[in-house]
Amino acid sequence: MKISTIILTAIVVVALAAGFYFTLNNSKITANAISIEPEMININASRWSYTPDTITVKKDQPVKIIINNQDTTHGISIPELGVMGIGSVEFTPNKTGTFQFRCPTRCGVDHINMVGKLIVTD
């Protein structure tokens, strides 16, 4: 009787350990599958223009826009998507459409004309 109890206990312990091990490994795989590297986009920014001035990205795909300042400090602001940053911005567009982006730092006389276009597609 004692030997059957010991064997049963050993089987339960092994089963629990195996279950715990596979649960941990499945969590790691799921976490890695979910994390998506952002699409890297480089933009040159100089007084009153962006190059390129039109960017196309996909909805629900992470994006990182890196602003290469050519003369002074510039950034990007996209109010409809809640995005604003100086030097770079990282975000995941959650709706499709065409959105205007502007420089959020006052960079001179024609600052108001420093405009670009972000197109978000399905």
- Spatial distance between the Cα atoms of 66 and 27, rounded to a whole number of angstroms: 32
The range of the structural domain enclosing residue 3 comes to 1-35
Residues 64 and 90 in one domain: yes
Residues 15 and 46 in one domain: no
Range of lowest pLDDT (5-9, 36-40, 82-86, 97-101): 5-9
Q: Structural domain tally of the chain?
A: 2
Residues 79 and 110 in one domain: yes
Residues 59 and 27 in one domain: no
Find, among 74, 72, 78, 79, the residue nearest to 50 by Cα.
74
Find, among 40, 50, 70, the residue nearest to 116 by Cα.
50
Residues 68 and 112 in one domain: yes
Q: What is the pLDDT of residue 22?
A: 55
pTM over 0.85: no
Over residues 56-90, the pLDDT tens digits come to: 999 999 999 999 999 999 999 999 999 999 999 99
Residue 45 gets the label, from left (phi > 0), alpha (psi -120 to 50) or beta, of beta
The token pair that represents 115 in the structure block: 């405009």
Over residues 24-65, the pLDDT tens digits come to: 554 444 444 566 899 999 999 999 999 999 999 999 999 999
